[in-house]
Structure 1
Amino acid sequence: MTDTSNETRSVVIEREIPFPSEKIWRALTQPHLIQEWLMKSDFKPVADHRFKFSANWGSVDCKVLEVEPNKTLSYSWDAYGLASTVTWTLTPTGMGTHLRMEQSGFRPDQRQAYGGARSGWTQFFANLEQVLARTE
């Protein structure tokens, strides 16, 4: 029998988005745009920058882990006992950009957080696509 207590799960959402990666990057990194699709934040796309996402239900403590403009953005996402990492990967395609978001680090006993993240990110992605459609 294998001990699976150390195994973690990830939420992965991928979309083909008909906009250039530079435009999506702005929506992922500019606080006034992030607020429109995700939450209020004091985010800066600078490695080791500590920031918070704030919503009416509480806040998420984060730290920027990796920044490669228009390609990769990664930050820690710590809230209510969940210590996870969110990684955005942008890949140019013929139609625009393939956007991939992975939130990794859900322990087996964090079923509720995992389920919440799965439904939450689906909604955030829909919001993000609306913001992209109406911004220059």
Structure 2
Amino acid sequence: MVETRLTGRIFLAAATLAGTALVPALANAEPAADVNWSTLNLTVSTENRGEAPRTAVLSCHPVGGSHPHAKSACQTLSAVDGDLNLLGEGQAMCTLIHQPVTYTARGYWQGRPVAFEKTYSNKCIAEASTGKVFAF
């Protein structure tokens, strides 16, 4: 009986010391996910009143969300470090029909806030400029 109490006290002391040693380490630790997480809420809208805006969620680091081409979209965004304003004018043979489309992105890229909105003269030009980012 005395041996059981002694073993219990030794175990309690060891657990207390181990927990005390971990507290400073945990207090200064930053979760890796907070630094690299990237999630964007994407919207495609037109001036056509009969057409509802389309939306998708794109997650990168790790890749996921409701976006059907998440891997390609994340690769495109990685190339510009999440700054959609740096996406260039794409090369495509587009008609000159004026049917404006607005692309909007709100969220975070590797923990930094993202706020993007741009209206393109038509869907062809928009898709050529943004790759798979708004292809949903």
| TM-score, length basis structure 1 | 0.29
| TM-score, length basis structure 2 | 0.29
Which structure is higher in helix share?
Answer: 2
Structure of greater Rg: 2
